[in-house]
Chain A
Amino acid sequence: MKLKRFLLRYYPPGIILEYEQGGILKTRSIDLLDLSPSTDVDKVVEEITQKEPLITPGKVEQVQKLVARLQEKIGQREDHHYYLFKVLRAHILPLTNVAFNKSGSSFITGSYDRTCKVWDTSSGEEVHTLDGHRNVVYAISFNNPYGDKIVTGSFDKTCRIWSFESGKCYNVYKGHTAEIVCVSFNPQSTQIATGSMDTTCRLWDVEKGTEVGNLSGHTGEIISLSFSSTGSELITASFDNTVSLWDVRSNKRIHTLIGHKAEISSAQFNWDSSLIATGSMDGTCKLWDRTSGRCTATLRGHSDEILDVGFDCTGQRVLTASADNTACCYSAITHQQICKFFGHEGEISKITFNPQGTLVMTASADKTARLWDPDTGECKQVLEGHTDEIFSCAFNYEGNTIITGSKDNTCRVWR
């Protein structure tokens, strides 16, 4: 084993080791999820050197510099005020979802007009219209961090892969017998997972264009799915009130998370995939231990359905968004409520941290998106201007650009 070079990863903080083993280039990551501006760098470096044989005494100084750089980046607290940068009359019918590529230089919008459009963020120009689906384009995603492919899932029951560069369709994946409502690339960008109203989740090979797995077992529609950060496991959330954890290689179900009393609205892994957060129409959010499949906490901070949940990038805090017009932030470790976000005048359908974990964004039926301080619950900014409810919102990786997509058929870029 020979260490080739170090790569830095800001969110979540970590150092990636690129090394050679038997002539093959491999990578391994050292996660520094607890790193904070007050952490003792020497101590962290000592721990790393002890655990990691690749880091020889000669490399210690370099590692010290990297950790200090990460610490500096985490300590940066810019009070960024976002202003409306562009309004894009995106589609002639309402938007569904929006998504950025990693850098935020491009983003995509799905629509009821059966297309997905690719946009250049800085110019606001439409780069491609991905045309081919015969019904609503509902779920969309880039293969981040690469960003050279786009996947679209449609109410026409098919899923398509497109080239970001040319806008050409590489493959059409047929097999589902009802609407596709969630899609995701695995982190290696070799497979796609699609979840459907037909109650199954399917896995597809990106290169070959063939179906490689049919994950069936749910008795209700699948409405949310996500891969673990290593890509070896997948969770599917269903209207049958349960969440399933699957082994992607064997296509076997590892656990069924049973406990919610109504439909699941969202399910997410934390970064190291040790925890799963689920939100439900029963008004609670539950945290589950991935290894045992047991529920470790039930978070009851809402008086109505929970519509979305999300972790921060290090997995230490959980967010919940509710139809009761409020949102909450909890510690994923102590399960204590850190704060509650008050102010929206309509239900909150989407919630997310910025990649840094210093800001929370909510999208609401009250036609606004809002930015909040996750420590105090204070509303930092109201993004106003849409003339109908906001369906979707996203940060780019740097956290300096926001897109919001609305039922008013427009999409707004804020920087």
Chain B
Amino acid sequence: MGLLSLLRKLRSNPDLELRILLLGLDNAGKTTLLKVLASEDITHITPTQGFNIKSVQSKGFKLNVWDIGGQRRIRPYWKNYFENTDILIYVIDSADRKRFEETGEELTELFEEEKLAGVPVLVFANKQDLVNAARSSEIADGLNLNSIRDRAWQIQPCSAVTGEGVKEGIEWMTQACNKKK
């Protein structure tokens, strides 16, 4: 990728390219999701120490997806990546009930960010393949998503490992962007 292509992805090319920010707690499955989007092998994934960027073609759009590490000590740096975001994807580990409160707090903070104001948000209720996964409606209630009035939002149950639900999420994103224009 190199530093130069970083700069190329940084510039906004509003007609053809979408800048997508992929956030969520550590171990939510962001990098796995990113690799699934890019049709790559997901057998060896380690905690992200920084970020990964991949470009995916979908329905005439070039999606530049920025996957940012979710560990607590690097969450303060999420801010680095807010500028020019077209869509926010927020990934939740639906089976990790102990951390629903923590993930809700982080999401609420993101909603309050000026630079993300009005940016459509897609919540992936990931890891639906696990038996103890919470249903997406349950998570939507818990996160109080129904009270959102200032932006388009969607919650999409999915499993990055099996690939189920991922395509539907992407479809929603491209639609949300078409509507914005």
List 7 A-B pairs, Cβ < 8 Å. A92-B49, A96-B3, A112-B80, A113-B77, A197-B11, A307-B2, A349-B2
| Residue in B7, B73, B74, B79 whose CB lies within 8 Å of A223 | B7
**A221→B7 contact, CB < 8 A:** yes
Partner of B4, one of A155, A179, A265, A408: A265
A251 within 8 A of B: no
Which residues of B, 74-90, contact A by the 8 Å Cβ criterion?
A: 74, 77, 79-80, 83
Quick check: B77 and A197 within 8 Å, CB to CB?
no
Inter-chain contact B80/A94, CB cutoff 8 Å: no
Check A179 against B10 for contact (C-beta < 8 Å): yes
Residues of B within 8 A of A181 (CB): 7
Provide the residues of chain A in CB contact with B50, threshold 8 Å. 93-94, 112, 407, 409
B1: chain A residues at CB < 8 Å are: 365, 389, 407
A391–B49 CB distance below 8 A:
no
A347 touches B77 (CB 8 A): no
A392 to B2, CA, bound (A): 9
Query: Shortest Cβ distance from A54 into chain B, in angstroms?
Result: 45
Q: Is A263 interfacial (CB-CB < 8 Å)?
A: yes
Question: A347 touching B2 by the CB < 8 A rule?
Answer: yes
- Contact status B79-A197, CB under 8 Å: no
Q: How far is the CA of A239 from the CA of B11 in the complex (A)?
A: 10
Interface size on B, residues (CB 8 A): 18
* Distance between Cα atoms of A179 and B7 in the complex (Å): 10
- A197:B73 contact, CB within 8 angstroms: no
How far is A225 from B108 in the complex, measured between Cα atoms in Å? Answer: 41
B11 touches A135 (CB 8 A): no
Give the residue name and chain of the B residue nearest to A266 (CB).
B4
Shortest CB distance A176–B (Å) = 14
**A97 adjacent to B3 (CB under 8 Å):** yes
Interface residues of A (CB under 8 A from B): 92-94, 96-97, 112-114, 135-136, 138, 155, 179, 181, 197, 221, 223, 239, 263, 265, 307-308, 347, 349-350, 365, 389, 391-392, 407-409
Is residue B59 within 8 Å, beta carbon to beta carbon, of the partner chain? no
Residues of B within 8 A of A365 (CB): 1-2
As a 0/1 sequence over residues 39 to 50 of chain B, the CB contacts with chain A under 8 angstroms (1 = contact) are 000000000011
- Which of chain A's residues have a CB closer than 8 A to the CB of B51? 93-94, 112
The 10 closest A-B pairs by CB, nearest first: A349-B2, A94-B50, A93-B50, A391-B3, A135-B80, A409-B49, A136-B80, A265-B4, A307-B4, A223-B7
Chain A binding site: helix, strand, loop or mixed by DSSP? Answer: loop
Chain B nearest CB: distance from A243 CB in Å? 15
Q: Closest chain B residue to A181 by CB distance?
A: B7
The contact of A221 among B11, B69, B74, B79, by CB within 8 Å, is B11
B149 CB within 8 Å of chain A: no
Q: Are A94 and B2 in contact (CB under 8 A)?
A: no
Q: How far is the CB of A29 from chain B (nearest CB, A)?
A: 33
Q: Which residues of A contact B8 (CB under 8 A)?
A: 239, 263
Knowing A197-B7, A307-B4 touch, does A408 contact B49 (C-beta < 8 A)? yes
Max chain B Cβ within 10 angstroms of own Cβ: one of A92, A97, A114, A239: A92
Asked whether, in the complex, the Cβ of B7 is within 8 Å of the Cβ of A389, the reply is: no
Chain A nearest CB: distance from B81 CB in Å? 9
Q: Is the CB of B77 within 8 A of A93?
A: yes
Given the complex of chains A and B, what is the CA–CA distance between A96 and B74 in angstroms?
Answer: 17
Q: How far is the CA of A214 from the CA of B2 in the complex (A)?
A: 29
Please name the residue on chain B nearest to A139 by beta carbon.
B3
Q: How far does the Cβ of B58 sit from chain A's closest Cβ, in whole Å?
A: 23
Chain B proximity of A304: nearest CB distance (Å): 12
Chain B residue with minimal CB distance to A364? Answer: B2
Distance in angstroms between the alpha carbons of A97 and B6 in the assembled complex: 13
Most A C-beta atoms less than 10 A away, residue of B3, B8, B11, B74: B3
CB pair A93 B11 closer than 8 Å:
no
Chain A proximity of B110: nearest CB distance (Å) = 17
List of A residues within 8 angstroms of B3 by Cβ: 96-97, 138, 349, 391-392
- How distant is the Cα of A114 from the Cα of B8 in the complex, in angstroms? 20
How far is it, in angstroms, between the C-alpha of A349 and the C-alpha of B3 when the chains are bound? 8
> Nearest-CB distance from B82 to chain A (Å)?
10
| B residues less than 8 Å from A155 (CB atoms) | 80, 83
Q: How far is the CB of A375 from chain B (nearest CB, A)?
A: 27
Contact of A93 among B2, B4, B10, B49 (CB under 8 A): B49
Taking a contact as CB atoms under 8 Å apart, the answer to whether B2 and A223 are in contact is no
**Given A94-B50, A113-B77, A408-B49; 13 other pairs, CB 8 A cutoff:** A92-B49, A93-B50, A93-B69, A93-B77, A138-B3, A197-B7, A223-B4, A239-B8, A239-B11, A347-B2, A365-B2, A407-B1, A409-B49
CB neighbours (8 Å) of B11 from chain A are: 197, 221, 239
Tell me if A197 and B4 are in contact (CB < 8 A).
Answer: no
Annotate B9-32 by CB proximity to A: 1 below 8 A, 0 otherwise: 011000000000000000000000
Assess the A93–B74 pair: CB atoms within 8 A: yes
With a cutoff of 8 Å between Cβ atoms, the chain B residues found around residue A350 in the complex are 2
Residues of A within 8 A of B73 (CB): 92
- The complex places the Cα of A120 from the Cα of B6 at a distance, in Å, of 29
Q: What's the minimum C-beta distance from A369 to chain B, rounded to whole angstroms? A: 13
Given contacts A93-B50, A409-B50, contact A391 B80 (CB under 8 A): no
A135 touches B7 (CB 8 A): no
Q: Which residue of B lies closest to A93 (CB)?
A: B50
Q: Cα distance A316–B116 when bound, in Å?
A: 51
Quick one: which of A223, A350, A407 has the most chain B CB within 10 A? A407
- How far in angstroms is the closest Cβ of chain B from A271? 25
**CB < 8 Å neighbour of A94 from B49, B79, B83:** B49
